[in-house]
Every structure is written in structure tokens, then in C-alpha cells.
Amino acid sequence: MLKKNQIIEIKIDKIVNGGEGLGYYNDFAVFVPMSVPNDILKIKIISVKKSYARGLIEEIVEAGEERVEDRSKITFEDFQGCDFGMLQYSAQLKYKKLMVEDVMRKIGKLENVRVNDVLGSVEPYHYRNKIIEPFSKYNGEIITGFFKRKSHDVFQVEENILNSKLGNEIIRELKKILNREKVSVYDEKEHSGILRHIMVRTNSKDEAMVVLIINATKVEKRYKDILMELKNKIGQIKSIYVSLNNRRTNFALGEKNIFIWGEKSIKEEIDGIHFNISPKSFFQINLPQTKRLYNVAINYFENIENKYIVDAYSGTGTIAMILSKKAKKVYAIELVESATLDGVKTAQENEIENIQFINGAVEDKMLELINRGDKVDAVIFDPPRKGIEEKSLIKTSESGIKEIVYISCNPSTFARDAEILTRLGYKIDEVQPVDMFPGTSHTEVVGRFYK
Ligand SMILES: C[S@@+](CC[C@H](N)C(=O)[O-])C[C@H]1O[C@@H](n2cnc3c(N)ncnc32)[C@H](O)[C@@H]1O
């Protein structure tokens, strides 16, 4: 029997759903985060359960052939919090596909659904257009970074591999000024100190919005001066805010976002539609891959022209707006009010008139729509990770809707819902995974269900 803290040598057989490696020690399953198939590793056991244990890498004895070249990196922190960072990019795509196949078989009970190759990212690094980093102090110096696994200790890296390069540059320059000015850092235990988080949003024209999040009730001139100095150094900064957050909360942005300088929003464009991005707006973080994902999803519809389509879990209505160019009418149903309001505004600015924005839960509002007798030809679902409520799927089927396109950021709940939909009489031929989050084990999938 394995014991906690025991050091063992193990060979990794495969990567399982969730992204961890799996090997066997005397026939007992051991999960090892950050490991690669065919790795031979010295690991330290950190927990032992009835039927499996988990261990962390102490040393790479022999590296699997799909491991990245740098063998000095072994921990989650070494890979800057990227749980797939140890895999070469082509191998990341291979294992993401295998994970989707696995859940479609095991959870979806769908043996005959083809899983296509994952659409990989042209740029697997520096793809994030939104960065939020907490401030901390280390050896008397102001740092920013990300939290260590299961901890509130901040971990700093010189050049974050997922952040936009412009975002990294801005944060680096800002820290120089803040260190010189000796601004205090927020301490969550004491609920004192000023600097909480820095948020940088960038667009595809390489313009940036800077939001400094501080523990204060008003913006003193000192902080405005610091931000002006930063802007004078980096010409791509087009918009500056200070967010006031004096609550005891893990949520970064405060309720008041004070506009300091420049434009109130930065702009982004998808398919000819112009979006205004303000500090609070929801916007997909990997733009090129989002465009590809939307493209796959929309092309799955047999025919959009003159159709009545529901965009369920619509966020700010991005997909609804693209569909609205050809569809007769689109209903965009979204729970979060500010996202609905952002959508209304963007539609007005783009002179789109055939979208009805509906604020509320899909489970209630779709039912209302159908019961009201409004025509609905097809639905596109893009739910959060927990997937779709069964009653919404049943109602969709009962109302005679013959075509559903389903985008999901969680292949497991997608597979669960796919099983329900097939029981309700829908067919699905293929699943298309899209890599929205290179470096991580997350995969986005999209599929079309039809009767
Ligand atoms: C994955 S996002 C979809 C984003 C959008 N389709 C896009 O591409 O920008 C899921 C959205 O569902 C919303 N949501 C969560 N639960 C909901 C519910 N029960 N009813 C309606 N919307 C919900 C969330 O607020 C979030 O905006």
C-alpha cells in the first residue's frame, strides 16, 4: 500500500480526462499532474485514496518523447500555471482529441460519433486579450503574477507565456513606477494597503486599456500621475481606468470604475460587427480562435436564411449578431443583466434590428418563448461549464425544433447532454473540438444535433 510522502518511480501510461497523467504502481492507479506518456518519473505521493493515489514529480528520470525540450521545468508553477505546458503543442492537440473521444464514449455512450482533429491555434502563446494579475510583495518589491496552485501566494514570471506581449510590457513598466513610488500593496488579511489587481485588455490592433484596481474610495492625484507616466511611456495605451474595490472579496473589479484618460472603450471587430470593450464587458479571450469557433458553429446550420433562431446563453449576443445578418430574427437569452445591456447597445451601434434581447434564465425564457407560440426554427446553445438543464432539452425537443448547434467549454457535460438529446431522438454525426486555450487541458467543442 502506498503512503503519503513516499517516493516511488513510475512510468506514465496515458493522459486522462482532466489532463493528468496516469501510471500504475503494482497495479495501483497513480495520477501525476504535469506528466507525459512514457515519462519515467520519481514522484512523491501527496494523497492516497481507496482506489488511486496522486503524486507530484520530484525528478524526470527519462522524459516521454512528447515532453517539451526544457527538462528543468517540472512543476505547475514552472509552467506558469499551464497544466498542459509540459506537452509539445501537437501532443496537446492529440490528447485533447483523445479526451473528447473518451467522454463521448464513456459519458455520452455514443460510439459512432466522429471526433474531428482539434482545430489548433496558429499562435499557441500570448493569445490572451485580457489579463488580471494580483499585486503582492516579495523581498520588499512589488510583484504581480498568478496564484500558486491551491494557495494565495503570488507567483511572478518575467514574461507570461499566455498574456499578450503588450499586456506583459505594460505590467512590467507599471511595476517599475509603483516600486519607485513605494505604493503599498493590499493585504487581504488586514484589509489594508492600496494595490489589489492590474487588468490590461488589448485588441487586435495592439491597443490597450489599463485598469488599476485599488483598495480606496476615491482616486487620489498620485495614482492618476502614475498612470499618466505609464501612458507617456507606452503609446499603445488608449484607455485608462481606476477601479475602486474596498470590499473583502476575491472578485477583482470593484463596483466603481472611474474613467481617467483616453477613450472610454477599446474596439474589436468580428465578422464586420464592432464591439466596444469596457472594463466590465465580457469578451472571449482568444480572438482568432473565437472567430474560427463561431465559423464552425454557424456553418453547422443547414440554412440560416430567413430563419427564427434562439441564441441561448448568449452573453453579449456575439453569435446572435453574426446570425442576424442572414436570419429573419434572433432571440438572445442571457442571465446576466449587464451582458444583455451591452448586447442591446452593440446591436444599436451596429444598426442591427432583428435581435430580441431577453434577460433571464434559459430554462424559463425559452419555455415562455415557445409557449407564447413564437416561431423557432433552430437553437444555438453555448452554456457555462455545467451544461444545459435537462428540462430545456426536453422542451426544445417537444416543441418540434429540429436543429440544435451546441457549443461547449466542457466536453464532459457536452457528452452528458448529447446522450440526453439522442434519447430525445436527435442525431449527431461529428464533434469538432477547437483549441481556445493552448497550454491548458481545456477544450471547446461544437456539434450539430438534428432530427
Ligand atoms: C459560455 S458563455 C456564452 C458566451 C457567448 N455565447 C459568447 O460567445 O460570447 C455562457 C453564458 O451563459 C450565461 N448563463 C449562465 N447560466 C445561464 C442561464 N441559466 N440562463 C441564461 N444564461 C446563463 C452566462 O452569464 C454566460 O454569459
Phi first, then psi: give them for residue 127, nearest 5 degrees: -95, -10
Query: Letter for the amino acid at 300?
Result: Y
pLDDT for res 256: 94
Cross-strand pairs, 41: 10, 60
Which cell is 195 given? 494595490
**Ligand 1 — pocket residues by CB below 6 A?**
282, 284, 313-316, 318-319, 333-336, 339, 361-363, 382-384, 409
**CA 381 to ligand 1 center in whole angstroms:** 9
pLDDT for res 398: 94
Which cell is 295 given? 465559423
Q: Quick one: pLDDT band at residue 227, thresholds 50, 70, 90? A: very high
**CA 336 to ligand 1 center in whole angstroms:** 8
**CA 410 to ligand 1 center in whole angstroms:** 13
pLDDT for res 148: 75
Give me the percent of the chain exceeding a pLDDT of 70.
100
* Ligand 1 atom closest to Cα of residue 290: 8
Q: How many CA atoms lie within 13 A of 195 on its CB side?
A: 27
The closest alpha carbon to 173, from 122, 111, 227, belongs to 227
Burial code (b: 16+ CB inside 10 Å, e: under 16) for 122-158 equals: eebbbbbbbbbbbbbeeeeebbbbbeeeeeeebbbbe
Q: pLDDT tens digit string along 254-278? A: 999 999 999 999 999 999 999 988 8
Q: 198, 148 in Cβ contact below 8 A?
A: no
Q: pLDDT tens digit string along 3-59? A: 999 999 999 999 998 899 999 999 999 999 999 999 999 999 999 999 999 999 999
Res. 340: pLDDT tops 80:
yes
The closest alpha carbon to 104, from 443, 382, 413, 370, belongs to 413
Q: 258, 241 in Cβ contact below 8 A?
A: yes
Q: pLDDT tens digit string along 347-386? A: 999 999 999 999 999 999 998 998 898 999 999 999 999 9
The dihedral region occupied by 60, where left means phi > 0, alpha psi between -120 and 50, and beta the remainder, is: beta
| Spatial separation of the C-alpha atoms in residues 227 and 175, rounded to whole Å | 11
Average the pLDDT over 119-148 and give the result. 92
pLDDT for res 14: 96
Res. 151: pLDDT tops 80:
no
The closest alpha carbon to 270, from 310, 229, 324, belongs to 324
Q: pLDDT tens digit string along 54-85? A: 999 999 999 999 999 999 999 988 898 899 99
Q: 34, 54 in Cβ contact below 8 A?
A: no
Q: 178, 210 in Cβ contact below 8 A?
A: no
Domains annotated for the chain, with CATH where assigned, are 7-74 (2.40.50.140), 96-122+282-450 (3.40.50.150), 130-270 (2.40.50.1070)
Kindly report the pTM of this predicted structure: 0.91
Cross-strand pairs, 25: 28
- Mean pLDDT for the chain? 95
What are the CA-CA distances from residue 296 to residues 112, 248, 272, 300, 319 (Å)? 21, 42, 17, 6, 12
- Residue of 280, 291, 313 to test ligand 1 pocket, by largest number of atoms within 8 Å of CB: 313
| Spatial separation of the C-alpha atoms in residues 110 and 326, rounded to whole Å | 33
* Ligand 1 atom closest to Cα of residue 409: 1
The closest alpha carbon to 115, from 96, 130, 132, 131, belongs to 96
Report the run of H or E that residue 287 belongs to, with start and end.
helix 287-300
Q: 150, 75 in Cβ contact below 8 A?
A: no
82 is catalytic: no
What are the CA-CA distances from residue 101 to residues 16, 31, 411, 433 (Å)? 11, 20, 9, 10
Give me the percent of the chain exceeding a pLDDT of 90.
88
DSSP 407-443: EES-HHHHHHHHHHHHHTT-EEEEEEEE-SSTTSS--
